[in-house]
Amino acid sequence: MVNVDVLDKMGFTPLMVAAQKGFTSLADILVKHGADINKRDNSGKNSLMQACYSGHLDMVKYLRNCGSTWQSLDTDGCSPLHWAVDGEHLPVITF
């Protein structure tokens, strides 16, 4: 068994990187192999926050369907919606 939640040198899991880059098909593979959608980096951001900030609406929808919540907060108290606003991604904000 391989740990798919291993952190890279920046403190990101493979799922966080996939969310940030908008690689939904890779995210699906990772989730199907046990990736934790709620795992957080050192600043408390999870994959949904990464996807929101980067503006990847398909990824946001995928993660929401997998159970990610809008109510999650990072260490500064920012939610995924805050990160979508900070990234200036109206389609994600509207969703």
Domain residue ranges in the chain: 14-94
Residue 30 has pLDDT above 80, yes or no: yes
Q: Name the average pLDDT for the chain.
A: 95
Q: Taking the model in full, what pTM does it have?
A: 0.93
pLDDT tens for 63-95 read: 999 999 999 999 999 999 999 999 999 999 999
Q: What separation in angstroms does the CA of 6 have from each of 9, 12, 15, 83? A: 10, 8, 10, 24
CATH class of this structure's domain 14-94: mainly alpha
